[in-house]
A and B are shown apart, each in its own frame.
Chain A
């Protein structure tokens, strides 16, 4: 208790005044840093794949298409990081919001409904619709303890695909929705093959905007409230934080980012099916956030990118490589198949050995390493195992 209070007092109250202005300034710098950093990434990635080890696998357009899909996961990880990393709420059904975003656009711009609403405003609509579902789910359950939320979201993540599958009238069920319009800019439709630049750059802009938005939130009063809740909800409440509203905002913002990613996916694939949003998407994104470093915006972005590339390129190449060279045991191992074994080992090892992730934020590392000593944790008499 005392420990939590002292920790809490470390975070300033925010608001106007010199300190507020200072943090404003630093966040503005951060925005510039994000723009500069991501622009560098945007330039370097297409160039690096022209170099030997990469260029031998596939051509630049293929690589860039892969990067674009990886960007979807980066976006998802950024959003889930708000929920898990910043606010400390475990969301295990994150793919549900991804699905909601994707189906929102699929219904808005496909022959299934006959509508053809433009992509750009739909990005926002998809995000808002996902956020609304996030609030509808979160409002009643966020009052409960954090691990209940994990289970409720897991259940929600299961229900959404089931509902989509079985509401053929509105979603065409397992058939999915095809013929979704790609985005148009200045009356030109984005090419779905051949020229990957429009989708690539769009994704990049989405990531930059999301990162800046999340950084700003993180440095705001809201961000500090999230951190306070993550550390000690009771203490946060005692310090005047409206915990339910604050958690709800984290949940809604996380959901809306997934919605954004969903709209983008639908326009990129031009077809959506319920199968795209199974629980393994939720768990993959969670692994990305944990491995990247919960709470660290850059960390999870980089983590997501690397993990996606490992699973979609590296493991495949490993398979092909060992199949070709015919190493006795290794060529029998199917590396793709054991992707989740690797995730599992990584999650456990990470929590035991390096809970702050591969790319930790400085603050998070400090927090996670203070509690190593024998602490007399205050356990309440929450629930006895007593019968009757």
Chain B
């Protein structure tokens, strides 16, 4: 994310520096964004960024889990869905909210409490899933945890269905969805800005955590070589649990944002969103955190552009087409290493 600024100071052999910084993917995404902006206009562009931000937050969980234990956590989309319901529960039951809050101070407090509780609760859920459903299978054939993940996905969906029923349910939109601000002559919803900013802040926080802290190093070294990490004194089980915790907490944050933005949630929410977020993770280069974030936005562009050009029904198909094309032509994604690369 930050490397884009470094290129400006690059003097010696532009091509060389360009290759070393691996700026291609960033420029690609920027290019896509720029073209898209021209094609679909500012309003649609904001729509794309908003849903892209949600996909990106969900994609981070896929990519982190895949990075560390090479498992496609099929249940992650449903963890996101549970996050949306948890957020609704916190807002309505714990905080007694049912609509827009006018006072900014009050709004900030409510949002802070909501994000904190939801993210912690979802983190615990994610770590618990790992502990009971995946850890016992860590040495089993690859197929086993994949199938378990599908089972966990069914279980989560049905538990929510039992509690909240099959119908879509309204969730409080504490940020007035009709509130808009004028930025550069474009009228943008406050909730859109909030969604995008929240997602970017969380991504930066995650990036800092992973690159600057001890636990971040533990996660990266575990992902890189589990046994060597263990020999350094890293508690693998704990590190993997923390990874699930963080990934699921981010999905919880995405769930909060989803509720705030759409104001309506349903137990089936996780399936489609999960698939799209997974596509984002693959597109960005699975295992790569920045890649997942970029991928999320690209998926947002693809989907919204299809809608904007009048091919809404093909939007979903287009997303999967992106997935297949990526896997066929560049399985490492925009930023990832080649699959199975061992250096």
Chain A directly contacts chain B within the complex, with at least one CB pair under 8 Å: yes
Closest B residue to A85 by beta carbon equals: B143
Q: How far is the CA of A141 from the CA of B70 in the complex (A)?
A: 18
Instruction: Let me know if A345 and B67 touch, CB within 8 A.
Output: no
Instruction: Let me know if A385 and B68 touch, CB within 8 A.
Output: yes
B85 to chain A, nearest CB (A): 16
B279 to chain A, nearest CB (A): 7
Chain A residues with CB under 8 A of B286: 383
Q: Does B137 contact A (CB under 8 A)?
A: yes
Task: With A151-B323, A156-B324 as known contacts, state yes or no: A347 contacts B223, CB within 8 Å.
Answer: no
Which segment, of A159-167, A199-207, A239-247, A303-311, faces chain B?
A: A159-167
Mark out the residues of chain A between 343 and 358 whose CB falls within 8 Å of any chain B CB in the assembled complex.
343-352, 355
Q: How far is the CA of A231 from the CA of B142 in the complex (A)?
A: 10
Instruction: Let me know if B288 and A387 touch, CB within 8 A.
Output: yes
Q: Does B93 contact A (CB under 8 A)?
A: no
Q: How far is the CA of A352 from the CA of B133 in the complex (A)?
A: 8
A59 to chain B, nearest CB (A): 33
- How many A-B pairs have beta carbons closer than 8 Å: the answer is 198
B27 to chain A, nearest CB (A): 15
Q: Does B22 contact A (CB under 8 A)?
A: yes
Instruction: Let me know if B151 and A383 touch, CB within 8 A.
Output: no
Instruction: Let me know if A384 and B220 touch, CB within 8 A.
Output: yes
Mark out the residues of chain B between 328 and 343 whose CB falls within 8 Å of any chain A CB in the assembled complex.
328, 331, 335-337, 339-343
Instruction: Let me know if B337 and A383 touch, CB within 8 A.
Output: yes
Chain A residues with CB under 8 A of B282: 148, 151
Closest A residue to B153 by beta carbon equals: A344
Instruction: Let me know if A381 and B343 touch, CB within 8 A.
Output: yes
Mark out the residues of chain A between 319 and 377 whose CB falls within 8 Å of any chain B CB in the assembled complex.
337-338, 340-341, 343-352, 355, 367-368, 371, 374-377
A 219-244 to B, binary, CB cutoff 8 A, 1 in contact else 0? 00000000000110000000000000
Instruction: Let me know if A158 and B320 touch, CB within 8 A.
Output: yes
Instruction: Let me know if A380 and B288 touch, CB within 8 A.
Output: no
Q: Does B309 contact A (CB under 8 A)?
A: no
Q: Does A152 contact B (CB under 8 A)?
A: yes
Q: Does B144 contact A (CB under 8 A)?
A: yes
Chain B residues with CB under 8 A of A84: 143
Instruction: Let me know if B275 and A158 touch, CB within 8 A.
Output: yes
Instruction: Let me know if B152 and A344 touch, CB within 8 A.
Output: yes
Q: Does A90 contact B (CB under 8 A)?
A: yes
A interface residues (Cβ-Cβ under 8 A, vs B): 84, 88, 90, 92, 137, 140-141, 144-148, 150-152, 154-156, 158-159, 162-163, 165-166, 230-231, 279, 283, 286, 290, 294, 337-338, 340-341, 343-352, 355, 367-368, 371, 374-377, 379-388
